[in-house]
Amino acid sequence: MSKLFEKRHFEFIAEHVAPLMGTPQDIEVLADTFQVTNADFKRGKFVTKAIKNWEDKHLTAYEATIIDDQIPY
């Protein structure tokens, strides 16, 4: 029995579908679903590539340099 998704499908989704999602958190949820349904799914690799593609579409070069994600104490 063949798997529903193969490596090339995940690569396509990371490249073309992930940038269309609302937030990077949506990509994380999608990756969670893929991980549950496919034991061979490489979650870390997918999330890294998908979020980079999302950021490339949604963040300008200027915005990417000024994001401060530090939590002040």
Q: Predicted confidence band at 45 (pLDDT cuts at 50, 70, 90)?
A: very high
Task: Quick: pLDDT tens for 8-18.
Answer: 899 999 999 99
The Cα 18–Cα 10 span in angstroms is 10
Furthest C-alpha separation in the chain = 53
Domain ranges of the chain: 23-55
From residue 47, alpha-carbon distances to 8, 10, 52, 55, 71 in Å are 15, 10, 8, 12, 23
pTM for the predicted model, two decimal places = 0.75
Q: Is 18 exposed, middle or buried (0-12, 13-18, 19+ CB in 10 A)?
A: buried
Q: Predicted confidence band at 1 (pLDDT cuts at 50, 70, 90)?
A: very low
The dihedral sign for the CA sequence 9, 52, 21, 23: positive
Task: Quick: pLDDT tens for 29-38.
Answer: 999 999 998 8
